[in-house]
Structure 1
Amino acid sequence: MIQYASIILFVFGLYGLLTNRNVIKMIISLNIMEVGLFIFIISIGFNYDGVAPIITSNGAGLIYVDPLPQALVLTAIVIGVGTTALALSIAKSIYKKYGTFDLDEMEGER
């Protein structure tokens, strides 16, 4: 069920990225896509009856939760924050040069 919600979130972000002509709205749409992807990756490693992958004396026959997707998503979150900061700094430079965030107005000023 959560996979469907994450796919819908990803599609909303993709729609916003493709239809908006405002740089800030495009960055926000990209972040929405990232969150949808993160939720999808985490949901792949989740088991409803799973336990934490810690070795115990009576661990035979238990279903464990896969920790690898969680570790990958933590790394991806850090990378996403870095790319968002870079995109916002580029948007700030664009605003200083053109005085607008709208891509259509920027094309007219060339």
Structure 2
Amino acid sequence: MTPYLLQLILIGALVSCGVYMLLERNLTRMLLGLLLMSNGINLLILSAGGRAGNPPVYGRSSADGTTTADPLAQAMILTAIVITMGVAAFVLALTYRSYRLTTAEEVADDIEDTSISKAAEIADISDIDDADDIDEAAITHPDTDEPDELDALPGREGSR
């Protein structure tokens, strides 16, 4: 089994471009990166399957084939194609829903994640001499049982 250099370069280019596009903030580019990466991996599985040969059906042979082709690589690629199309449909649905809600295709930073990371940074600082060095907006208030604007259950106040 001798893989061709051009094929390996193509596989590397597809996977690297796919990873680069997956790291973008644009949902359409993320989808295209996912498709590019899956196509590169499918080519990798096909090249790892070995050389072409006789069909894997009993009693069949091709003109110049002396060995039987491995059907496992082809079955894995067909399965990977189906899974990729399912994931692509899911990402398209998420993109459509996100666009309908925010009219923007860019993925924004989550406010809650930002506040948690700022609170973790403050908790890691142990050698602060002045209390003025701490950002007051980054300190989270202790959790209480009082309802706030994020509570979505109606009638929760009357149950106490």
Question: Which TM-score applies when normalising by structure 1?
Answer: 0.81
- Percent identity over paired residues: 31
- State whether residues 7 and 40 of structure 1, in contact with CA within 8 Å, keep that contact through their aligned partners in structure 2: no
Secondary structure at the counterpart of residue 90 of structure 1: helix
Distance 1:95 1:109, change over 3 A: farther
Distance 1:15 1:75, change over 3 A: same
CA-to-aligned-CA distance 1:5-39 (integer Å, 9 cap, x gap): 11221111111212x21111111111100000011
2:32 alignment counterpart: 28
Runs of 4+ in 1 over 6 A off after TM superposition: none
CA-atom RMSD in angstroms:
2.4
Match of 1:52 among 50, 55, 69: 55
1:7 alignment counterpart: 12
The answer for unaligned runs of 5 or more in structure 2 is 113-160
Structure-2 separation of matches of 1:82 and 1:72: 15
Structure-1 separation of matches of 2:29 and 2:8: 25
Moved more, 8-17 or 32-41: 8-17
Larger RCO: 1 or 2 (CA < 8 Å, sep 6+) = 1
Q: Which has the higher helix share?
A: 1
The answer for unaligned runs of 5 or more in structure 1 is none
1:95 alignment counterpart: 99
- State whether residues 21 and 102 of structure 1, in contact with CA within 8 Å, keep that contact through their aligned partners in structure 2: yes
- State whether residues 47 and 64 of structure 1, in contact with CA within 8 Å, keep that contact through their aligned partners in structure 2: no
Question: Which TM-score applies when normalising by structure 2?
Answer: 0.58
Structure-2 separation of matches of 1:57 and 1:30: 38
Match of 1:78 among 82, 87, 103: 82
Larger radius of gyration, structure 1 or 2? 2
Secondary structure at the counterpart of residue 80 of structure 1: helix
Distance 1:109 1:95, change over 3 A: farther
